[in-house]
Amino acid sequence: MKSPDLFLRWPPSRPSKRPHVAVLWPVHVWPVVAPDQVPALNLFQSAILGLLRARKSDLAEVAELLELDRDLVRFIVTKELQPSGWLDGHLKLTPAGGQMLDGGGRRMPRLVQQYAFQDAVFGHWWPRLSTDLPEIESKGVNEKGQLEFLLERGSGRIDRPVVLPVKAPARADLAEVLKAWQQHRRDHAAAQAGGRVEMLSDDVEFVSDEIEFCGDLQRPQLAHVWCEVYVNPDDPQPWLVSDPWQFVPAVKWLREPLQQGLNQFPALAERMRRKLMPEADTGSMNATEWLAQLELRVELDLSAMPHLNHPEHARLREHMGRVLRQRDRLRHQERIQDEELNSLLTECGALMEATVQWMLERWPIDTRDWPRIEWTRRVLGDLLRELPLQAPLDDDVLAVLCGQKLKDTRLAIERRDRPFKALWVGALLCTREHDAHPLRQLPARSLQWARMLELTDLRNKGSHASGQRLDRQHSLDMADFAVDWHEQFIPYF
């Protein structure tokens, strides 16, 4: 390991022509002593392969000649030799099996120095080991401060990867290295066999105490590994992350943590938006490609709202995602049914409702001293008029909100499970005791009380199957309003 700026890139089997975003992913590189990754034949495997190549294709005869139990021979064949790609379904040696038997593969693994990789962004250990560190050198930094790498000398192709920041500290964990070695061994064998390996037995000769760290445990080498974010229209995921080792096209152990934490990397999200969602003629896309691009757009929009990635806001994220997805789909869809517009408005209302429920949880008040007798419309109206709001409620909105019952309002504050108007009134009354409440501080031009009421009424009419036809553009405008209305509260999360 040569320098503090170590960039690693395992060579791809072929140059990538797909649109992608190159990423340099930081890792802590740990030198270890571990069994080499070449599959090994044990004595029984070697003897069985030898007899099968000598045209002894009856397993009972093979068991008799080797003086082994028939079930043991059948197990070795079906669970080890065939899954490893050394025997086909007709008990014929494959080219790989012949090579192993002829000594092309070592019969017993050797302990050799290798490198294990701990993710320096999220902290987990990658299921990969390597005997070498294939370094790629940067040609420099451009005027925008981006690293540049010359990938093809003939064509002069240059790529400028996004460099993820180091966030996770290094920590030595021998048990995790053992898991990484085992999974790497399986993935490597599967790649060698064309992806056909589903099961690979462990080498019982090598256990965890024969894998050990070497070098300074306090100071592993920091390096950056090259991988790519790309879109596969045939995959249900909106985007994928390539396997740096090229064993498989994509790996979830990189995609899943990045998907959950994408909001932490705005530069990467913006590059993904530009490179993976180019301005294109949507008419030239098939349905699968168009839906894949839609999912990517929604994913990137959600990543720009980091407050929604907290577990306690999962319901808000779900509703926001549904609004964005339905809005964008209907915006480009030629024919729209009223049911689809109803569904969009329902989700818009659910998004606003979940936002108000968050306010009630964030800024609660004690209702134990509230009267137990029903208040009149006039009493509630006076309470609402006296609230210290930057955006006073106009008469039309007051006329509607004054119809809320005291019990429903109290339960809305305590349990947050009442209809939207009761939640709304409850949140407004909470502003009396919280100076920093957003409904108290925000101006009328952004809160837009009358439009909130209009959306609520449209949602209720749709959910009650009123038979009233909905206007497409007006419904889409309402969806834009619901998204904007929620986003004004982001600074308060």
pLDDT at 56: 83
Backbone angles phi, psi at 467, to 5 degrees: 85, -5
Region at 195 (left for phi over 0; alpha for psi -120 to 50; beta for the rest)? left
CB 322 within 8 A of CB 347: yes
Contact 208, 175 (CB under 8 A): yes
10-residue stretch averages of pLDDT, the chain, 493 residues long = 72 73 96 77 85 88 90 86 86 87 65 94 96 92 91 83 96 92 83 53 50 85 96 84 93 93 88 77 64 83 87 93 94 88 95 97 94 91 96 94 95 95 97 97 96 91 64 95 97 96
What CA–CA distances, in Å, run from 199 to 180, 260, 361, 440, 460? Answer: 16, 30, 50, 62, 55
Q: How far is CA 11 from CA 14, 186, 242, in A?
A: 8, 20, 13
- Cα dist. 159→23, 148, 193, 350 in Å? 10, 6, 32, 43
Q: Please give the C-alpha separations between residue 183 and each of 67, 82, 113, 261, in angstroms, as whole numbers.
A: 33, 19, 18, 25
Q: How far apart are CA 378 and CA 391, in angstroms?
A: 20
Query: How high is the pLDDT of residue 235?
Result: 81
* Neighbour count for residue 163 (Cβ, 10 Å): 18
Residue 124, both tokens:
């987990």
With H, G, I as helix, E, B as strand and everything else as coil, classify residue 224: strand
Task: Provide the residue type at 418 as one letter.
Answer: R
Q: What pLDDT sits at residue 200? A: 46
Supply the pLDDT for residue 109: 64
pLDDT of residue 283: 56
DSSP codes joined into one string, 56-103? ---HHHHHHHHT--HHHHHHHIIIIITTTTSB-TTSPBPHHHHHHHTT
CA angle (109 as vertex; 107, 113 as ends), nearest 5: 150
3-state secondary structure (DSSP) of residue 188: helix
List, as one string, the DSSP characters of 117-185: EEETTT-PEEEEEES---B----EE-TTS-EEEEEETTTTEEE-PEEPPP-SPP---HHHHHHHHHHHH
Distance CA 146, CA 23 (A): 12
Q: Please give the pLDDT value at position 488.
A: 97
